[in-house]
Chain A
Amino acid sequence: MSRQGLVLFVLRRLLALAILLTTVSFGVFSLLYLAPGSAEQVLLAGRPAADAETRNEIRERYNLNDSFAEQYALWAKGAVRLDFGQSIRTGEPVLTAIKDRSGLTIFLGVYGFALAMLAGVSLGILSAVRSRTSADRGIVMFSIVGASAPVFVTGVFLLYAFAVLLDLFPAFGQGEGFLDRFWHLTLPAVALAVGGSALVVRLTRAGMLGALEQDYVTFARARGLSARRVLLAYAFRNALIPVVTAGALVLSFMLTGAALVEVTFALPGIGALLIDSVNFKDLPMVQGLAMVLATVVILINLLTDILYLFIDPRITYSEGTA
């Protein structure tokens, strides 16, 4: 695919991203609008006897008296200037709050992703190479258990086993400095990684088994290439497309999984922020988070599609497929 074609492809996809974000923002906005309860009820929750004036003041401040369309238009006007308003709960600007919390979640997500891919790919290759042995069966069994265990169950189990019983890792806190943080976030990252790695194991194994049966692998071995080269440059590279697809899914899952893991391990990341904000009906915050998360997921997918191009020279994105 030509460089120009690639640029066009990316531009088209970015346009699609803008359309998608608009749709998502409108969807989230309407759902929150329709959900029972409103901001002033939450803000006044502790003071049931609040007078009408206070109530009205709050409604005015958050534009709650405007029509739905006006409210959305007001929000959208700010959003295009990357101003997502202020949190109802804390009064902090939404973007600042998200920025403050994102460091932890990014660390956790990347850590978990790396663990999931590392374990998933190596176990997947191992199980394909040793197919029909007890090692293979054990790995397949692990992948079934891993795929079916919910993140919070894995999390609680890990906490109990490694923090409480063995006391190898801390049970809470996010640590100071890189190494300390690394140590603190190991258990949450493992909890996040288990489900994803199970998926990667299965797809790697299936892809490798398929590739190892191909004529080009036989032909490579017949030319006396080393076992390592046959395994990596031939079998694994050809099995890479489904693995990368799984990688994108796993990375997206790190975001949704973060909500569960951060609550389980009491970590103040984006996931925890999202849950708090939804509970509080903190509409600007939820809306802002939804935008950020949607953008990240869409960009991950775009990145995956571009990655395909580098893996397989046969793939091109012609006009109309974007």
Chain B
Amino acid sequence: MTAVLESRARSLPRQAILETRGLAIESRIGGRRRTIVCDLDLSVAAGETVGVVGESGSGKSMTARALIGLLPQGLSARGSISYAGRELLQLPERELARVRGSEIGLILQDPFTMLNPLLRCGRHITEVLERGDARGVSRRARRAEAVRRLAEVGIAEAVDRYPFELSGGMRQRVAIAAALAGDPAVLIADEPSTALDATTQKEILALLKSLQEARGMGLVLITHDLRVAFAICDRICVLYAGSLLETGGTAALEVEPLHPYTLGLLLSEPPGDRRLAELAAIPGVVPSPDDVAEVCSFSPRCPWAQPICRAGRPPLEPVAPGRLSACRRIDEIRSEMRQRHATVVQPAPPRDTPAVAAPLVEVELVEKVFGDTSSRRVQESVVALAGVSLEIGPHESVGLVGESGSGKTTLARCLVGLETPTSGRISIDGIDATDYDALSTADRRRLRRTVQVVFQDPYSSLNPVRSVGSTLREAIELYNPRSARHARQVDALLEQVGLPASYAVRKPIALSGGERQRVAIARALAVKPRLIVCDEPVSALDVSVQAQILNLLSSLREELGVGYLFITHDLPVVRQVVDRVYVLYRGEIVESGPVDEVIGAPRHPYTIRLVDSMPRSSPDWLAASAPPGAP
């Protein structure tokens, strides 16, 4: 570790190429002024990778936009952003346009929306080459250059293809090539791998890192994922509610965070190599910057907060060589934090394997084919599930792991009757649940009381016009029409998921993402089900909130004995909540078994690749990249 530290420290160049001083971003909509970011000092040097880590609401994306002078309408930046001695905030738009692309580049999060859907991939590159004085170059030479640029990101064959013909990872490669077409000295990457599958994420990060090194480029990586930042950054800046709480070299920061928020964020991340008894979630949600303008912005959620933390905003000050922290009490609490860091990551004792009993759910050789299955158009049909079999015991928690397109959501939808399998059999609690439409009303009701579902996106799974109370009351009444004590049951449900009873009168729009997901869980619990199908229930949430929800699911399981079918692409997450796991790849189960065995000693090549793609900070993680396209 020290060797890594030293080599990274040595390679640290002195001169910052892009630097902000006291950067503030404000929005002004309808006369109301809101702070997005305040007093931000960032810098990146040539050949350096700087990570800006923050949750949603931290202002990280707007910072990225401000650095390249592309804030959305209604937002404005103050302070100083200097690039190679020039003050960007003073530059007129015409000159700023010349800086963009050729001095500072930007890539965005979503490869599916970043490219112009109507232009071929090669055109995205030639149009950058055509700017300014390069007009004399022939069309053929420009095309050859586009092919060369695409080859640099490993996808030369995409030159004549439209973006919609490519996968997400391939599109992100094209976007990177396009962003680098003007050979910028600094590249700002805003969550470049977040929208991608785990294995693709690793490929994209490895590509960015190698391009950065080969070109000696400065790279600003903006991410919510500390693990990703640890894996590829030289320095890390932790952004929270619009201001920096801590900065430091990656290795030192990972070993010992020097701000309670960084520690909390680090502990909220479920580790990939062990199961914890309980994740150290940070209570509450990210405040808006204006609500914490005059105090330490983390103090409302900090376990070490004292009155001194609320006496004015603490400045970012040196606390150790190369380390800055905005915690006033860091000297006092440093040893306590170190201790907490050490204890929380202790692995939990292995779970007792549940006694063998008749399975609650049996799935036998289920196939699902979408599209027209008639012989004439076989090529137009898509096989989502190709003969999947699995079992879930009563009170058991089972994981289903796979990437997008693996068929995991289709299986979930078949289980709860939202899709009907093309062939095969599903049996739940002794009832043949293969085709919900063919069931008697009584059987269907019994099934719905046995199995419930929680969806991925809490922003769209709750009816926005109904209050939380009426949503829950509806679920209760549907299965318990004679019960008269609905109000008390609603309160009890809210309490079970850790929400105050007063939330019953609120509409979903007044809740945060984590609170909405709690309501969705409460709605599933309303019928006292034996199994809850959780389809990526935490992937839309911030890390600290994700830990809260995972802890809630664990405690509900212990209190109520409810089992889960936990569907996810995230191995560390699944390790925390399930006993057994099935790995789904292209519609087939390729591996199954106790979760610790499958993740600890994967056997199938795909599982190995999946386990290998979990971000690790060791320097060989990105280097040991499997060739793209291998299973």
**Chain A contacts to B: CB under 8 angstroms:** 131-132, 214-216, 218-227, 229, 233-234, 237-238, 311-314
Return the 4 tightest CB-CB contacts between A and B, nearest first: A224-B101, A222-B106, A223-B101, A224-B100
Tell me the bound Cα distance from A151 to B595 in angstroms.
Answer: 73
Interface residues of B in 110-147 (CB under 8 A from A): 110, 113-119, 127-128, 131
Closest chain B residue to A216 by CB distance?
B116
User: A223 and B164: CB pair below 8 A?
Assistant: no
Chain B residues in 8 Å Cβ range of A215: 108, 110, 113-114
Show 22 residue pairs from A and B whose CB-CB distance is below 8 angstroms, ordered by the A residue: A132-B73, A218-B70, A218-B106, A219-B106, A219-B178, A219-B179, A221-B70, A221-B97, A222-B68, A222-B70, A222-B105, A223-B100, A223-B178, A224-B102, A225-B128, A227-B97, A233-B116, A233-B127, A237-B116, A238-B117, A311-B118, A313-B162
User: A238 and B116: CB pair below 8 A?
Assistant: yes
User: B113 and A223: CB pair below 8 A?
Assistant: no
User: B118 and A226: CB pair below 8 A?
Assistant: no
Tell me the bound Cα distance from A264 to B492 in angstroms.
Answer: 74
A213 to chain B, nearest CB (A): 8
B549 on the interface (CB 8 Å rule)? no
With A214-B113, A222-B68 as known contacts, state yes or no: A233 contacts B119, CB within 8 Å. Answer: yes
Tell me the bound Cα distance from A190 to B108 in angstroms.
Answer: 46
User: B114 and A223: CB pair below 8 A?
Assistant: no
A309 to chain B, nearest CB (A): 12
Q: Size of chain B's interface in residues, with CB distance under 8 A?
A: 32
Tell me the bound Cα distance from A254 to B477 in angstroms.
Answer: 58
Chain A residues in 8 Å Cβ range of B179: 219, 222-223
With A216-B113, A216-B115, A216-B116 as known contacts, state yes or no: A224 contacts B108, CB within 8 Å. Answer: no
B290 to chain A, nearest CB (A): 24
Chain B residues in 8 Å Cβ range of A225: 101, 127-128, 131
User: A219 and B118: CB pair below 8 A?
Assistant: no
B53 on the interface (CB 8 Å rule)? no
Tell me the bound Cα distance from A223 to B174 in angstroms.
Answer: 13
User: A237 and B118: CB pair below 8 A?
Assistant: yes
User: A221 and B127: CB pair below 8 A?
Assistant: no
B99 on the interface (CB 8 Å rule)? yes
B181 on the interface (CB 8 Å rule)? yes
B159 on the interface (CB 8 Å rule)? no
Chain A residues in 8 Å Cβ range of B114: 215-216, 219
Chain B residues in 8 Å Cβ range of A132: 73
Chain B residues in 8 Å Cβ range of A131: 73
A312 is contacted by which of B115, B118, B178 (Cβ under 8 Å)? B118
Tell me the bound Cα distance from A220 to B98 in angstroms.
Answer: 13
Tell me the bound Cα distance from A286 to B181 in angstroms.
Answer: 62
B140 to chain A, nearest CB (A): 21
User: A216 and B117: CB pair below 8 A?
Assistant: yes
Tell me the bound Cα distance from A124 to B604 in angstroms.
Answer: 57
B213 to chain A, nearest CB (A): 22
Tell me the bound Cα distance from A227 to B115 in angstroms.
Answer: 17
With A215-B108, A216-B115, A238-B117 as known contacts, state yes or no: A229 contacts B127, CB within 8 Å. Answer: yes
Closest chain B residue to A237 by CB distance?
B118
User: B164 and A313: CB pair below 8 A?
Assistant: yes
User: B107 and A224: CB pair below 8 A?
Assistant: no
B289 on the interface (CB 8 Å rule)? no
User: Of residues A132, A215, A223, A233, which shows the largest number of chain B Cβ atoms within 10 Å of its Cβ?
Assistant: A223
B98 is contacted by which of A222, A224, A238 (Cβ under 8 Å)? A224
B175 on the interface (CB 8 Å rule)? yes
Given contacts A131-B73, A214-B113, A237-B118, 14 further A-B pairs with CB under 8 A are A215-B110, A216-B113, A218-B65, A218-B70, A219-B114, A222-B68, A223-B179, A223-B182, A225-B131, A226-B131, A233-B119, A312-B117, A313-B164, A314-B164
Chain A residues in 8 Å Cβ range of B119: 233
User: A224 and B99: CB pair below 8 A?
Assistant: yes
Closest chain A residue to B162 by CB distance?
A313
With A219-B106, A223-B128 as known contacts, state yes or no: A314 contacts B68, CB within 8 Å. Answer: no
Tell me the bound Cα distance from A216 to B106 in angstroms.
Answer: 12
Chain A residues in 8 Å Cβ range of B115: 216, 219
A248 to chain B, nearest CB (A): 19
Tell me the bound Cα distance from A238 to B181 in angstroms.
Answer: 23
Chain A residues in 8 Å Cβ range of B101: 222-225
